[in-house]
Amino acid sequence: MDDRRDGPPADGTGPEPIPSVDPSLSPVQQVHGRYRAHSETCPKCRDIDRGRCEAGEELWRDWTAACDEAYRRLHGGAR
């Protein structure tokens, strides 16, 4: 059921990358850009069959934490 049907994605495919070091971007966009920059070049992140990537998971946690913080700020701390 979870078997890969195709090979890993080809380099240069997918959405346009978000720059990770642009001060005009929001904190959520900056963190997501760092996650995307890593995941697009990391062999483990590009191919789920290669196992877990600790760095990718940490960047994912950073991104979700930034999203949660942005949500709390937008809604005045109430959830």
Is residue 65 over pLDDT 90?
A: yes
Name the residue with higher pLDDT: 10 or 15: 10
Decide: 20 and 3 in contact? Cβ < 8 Å.
no
Confidence of residue 15 (pLDDT cuts 50, 70, 90): low
Q: Domain limits of the chain?
A: 27-74
Give the residue-averaged pLDDT of 51-63.
Answer: 92
Question: Using one digit for the tens of pLDDT, what is the confidence trace for 34-56?
Answer: 888 898 889 888 887 888 899 99
Cα 77 to its chain centre, rounded Å, is: 25
49 by Cβ neighbours in 10 Å (0-12 / 13-18 / 19+) ranks as: exposed
| pLDDT at 10 (0 to 100) | 67
